[in-house]
Structure 1
Amino acid sequence: MKDSIIIDIRKIRAALESFDKSDFHYNTSFSQCLNGFPSGCCGDTSNLLGLFLKNAYGKDSTYISGKGLGNNREQSHAWLVCDGYIIDITADQFNSIGYNLDKVIVSTSSDFHESFSRINRHEINYDSLGKTPISDVLHKVNERIRNLTPAI
């Protein structure tokens, strides 16, 4: 994966961390998550990243949802796969239960992601996603990144 894409993914993570829950549309997990980003925000974050990668780089992604982590059959998580890379900027929410995961994962393999017992995949529908509050969140994130990044 190109360094420029990874840098942009890191910027998105930093921007999402800089917001308060109240900054987001009420109908997103960014607003509803109890403990704040990234906890409970993996689905909307994966959709946001997929929409970003499509808009900024013309890249299609696959949305992956996993269920059944370790002894917890109901534990779920979501991430993207794009060009053969696992992209996940919310996996560190599992560090509170004993994992040691980076804030930003862009990798061709991951023991953590492979440990889910049930995996579902679907292609992202960019047209319908562009008409949801996730599109508004992406706009806010892009604005925040522009305001935080010094002009060169």
Structure 2
Amino acid sequence: MKKLIFCCLVIFMGACKDKDKDAEPENDFASGFVGTYQTTTVENGLATNHIWDIQKVNNNQLKIVYDRSYTVEIPGETVVRVHKTELGNVTTTSADRFTINETVVVDQGSGVTRSEKLEGQGTKVLNASGNQQINIDLKITNTATGTSTQPYLEFKKK
């Protein structure tokens, strides 16, 4: 009888073991990306200044406020147009990678908007100067027309 009670006690103690104690905590990679990043591109005489303001939303989730300032020189004046985009569901997949896969509304200024799908995988690296930057092939698709561009961007941390 004593052996039966002892066996039941051992089984009961095993069943009551704290299973969460052995679980590994979830890594938070989002904090390593927080900051402001910038790059400038020139294509066909069109200079574009890209700025990313990256903020942490939750563990492994980022928000990126993406401003693109287009500068065009026309005889007698310089025209600057700013497009503002907010990406609210950027997922970090490791300490040096995140994924963008969102359809967003782009504010083109003066109340004009359009819808774009942004896709890409960003990689955080240290450049030759030892400064942090994010490299990405960012596919930008106009959802109304289906036309897309895929610039390679190197965002340097400010």
TM-score normalised by the shorter chain: which range applies?
Answer: under 0.3
- Which structure's residues are more often helix, by fraction? 1
Higher relative contact order (CA 8 A, sep 6+): 1
- Structure possessing the higher radius of gyration over alpha carbons: 2
Relative to the length of structure 2, the TM-score reads: 0.25
Relative to the length of structure 1, the TM-score reads: 0.25
- Which structure's residues are more often strand, by fraction? 2
